[in-house]
Structure 1
Amino acid sequence: MPTGVPIGDARARLFDAADRLLLRGGPSALTSRAVTEEAGTAKGVLHKHFDDFDGFLAEFVLDRVHRMDERAAALRGAAGTGTVTGNLTEALTALFGSVAIAIVALVTFRDGLRARLRETWPVGVPVLTDAAEMIADYLAAERDLGRLDPGAAPEGLAPMLVGTAHLLFADRTGEAPTEAAVRGAVESVMGGVLV
């Protein structure tokens, strides 16, 4: 006789619970007990699917990073449409208005998680490095379309844009930056290379 009710995709439920906890309470809110309670599962469910809590967190971070693939494709597809400033403002706001900024804090908060991530992510901070690659690809496409100065260096501009946006969105306790503030930051970085 079964002793429990099937819970569907336990990993997805646990990851979604981690999202909610991270957004509400920051990295310190993430404990195995808090995640399983938020997911409505027994604590053993987490340990059935993951070696330990840092293993869970590493897979959670990588899962959320891989979700950026859709966002990257959409941004790349926007090349040649709208304005470069508008496209970048929208992409950075969507990126940092999501759980991404909280993931950056989580990675810097937990030494064990960083060590685990280094096994598969040898350089940089997940989310930030993917964001820089996403934006560099977009900027290269815009340069190829003639909407950026031919001498523009996407690989240098992208980290500046990501770093600037990260600083704007980093304070989780205050108001989120306005679209005008993000646009102003983008214009400051991009002003010299827009055609």
Structure 2
Amino acid sequence: MPTGVHIRDARAQLFDAAERVLLRDGANALTSRAVTTEAGCAKGVLHRHFADFDAFLAELVLDRAGRIDERTAALRESAGTGTVAGNLTGALTALFESVALAIVGLITARDGLRARLRRDLPAGVPVLTEAATVIASYLAAERDLGRVTPDADVDTLAAILIGTAHLLYVGRDDTPPETEAVRRIVTTALAGVTGVTDGVAGGVAGGVTAS
């Protein structure tokens, strides 16, 4: 990477390289040398743009979390189409089969990163918190359309869906759960607040991804 590369370009290349290392080799393999080697640049490039490696990782987490908002249009626009259960099943599958799960693992593994993020973010886990907000917004739209009951607590439902789906995916190595297992979580959480319990037809894949 030339020394004159614009900081935005350098940041993007380093973030993309870090994501590849994280997905391929796991959180423990994510070091500054691994990132710069993957990016094909000198180690000094990273430290030229970030105070230290935890600062770099914090910016990586914030960047990937921010992408959730950029990619939520499909889920939000699906309100009123397909089935509520199908749309949410597709969204949760896309979320946890993206970089999101690896990012959560990274935050868990590094004390310095967690401390840095706590200074800048409200309570909650980055990526998962943003995803829960998106799902709550989608459920609110379905509530307005009458496909979710008027008294449904969409914030609590979103938290239940994110938390339970996360437990389903975590620790499974490279073998994700069957879509049917995700669907069961969704239909169980929605029991009593919607009449939709029939499969995943009309699901929206990729509604809330981080990379």
Q: TM-score, normalised by structure 2?
A: 0.87
Bigger shift: residues 173-182 or 27-36: 173-182
Aligned to 1:59: 59
**Where in structure 2 are there 5+ consecutive unaligned residues?**
196-211
> Residue 10 of structure 2 aligns to which amino acid in structure 1?
A
Bigger shift: residues 55-64 or 117-126: 117-126
Shift of the alpha carbon at 1:71?
A: 2.6
> Residue 74 of structure 1 aligns to which amino acid in structure 2?
A
Q: SS in structure 2 opposite 1:33? A: helix
Aligned to 2:198: none
CA distance in 2, matches of 1:174, 1:12: 26
Aligned to 2:170: 170
Aligned to 1:139: 139
> CA deviation digits over 1:25-56, x for unaligned, max 9?
22101100000001111000000110000000
Equivalent positions of 1:1-195 (< 5 A) are 4=2, 9-195=9-195
- Aligned residue-pair number: 193
4+ residue runs of structure 1 moved beyond 6 angstroms? none
Q: SS in structure 1 opposite 2:60? A: helix
Shift of the alpha carbon at 1:4?
A: 4.5
Shift of the alpha carbon at 1:91?
A: 0.6
CA distance in 2, matches of 1:34, 1:72: 31
Bigger shift: residues 170-179 or 50-59: 170-179
**Where in structure 1 are there 5+ consecutive unaligned residues?**
none
Identity %: 65
CA distance in 1, matches of 2:177, 2:89: 11
Shift of the alpha carbon at 1:165?
A: 0.9
Higher relative contact order (CA 8 A, sep 6+): 2
Residues 86 and 106 of structure 1: CA distance in aligned 2, closer, same or farther (over 3 Å) = same
> CA deviation digits over 1:44-75, x for unaligned, max 9?
00001100000000000000000001232321
> Residue 154 of structure 1 aligns to which amino acid in structure 2?
V
> Residue 132 of structure 1 aligns to which amino acid in structure 2?
A
Bigger shift: residues 137-146 or 73-82: 73-82
- The Cα RMSD (Å) is 1.6
CA distance in 1, matches of 2:82, 2:100: 25
Contact 2:3 2:45 in 1 (8 A): no
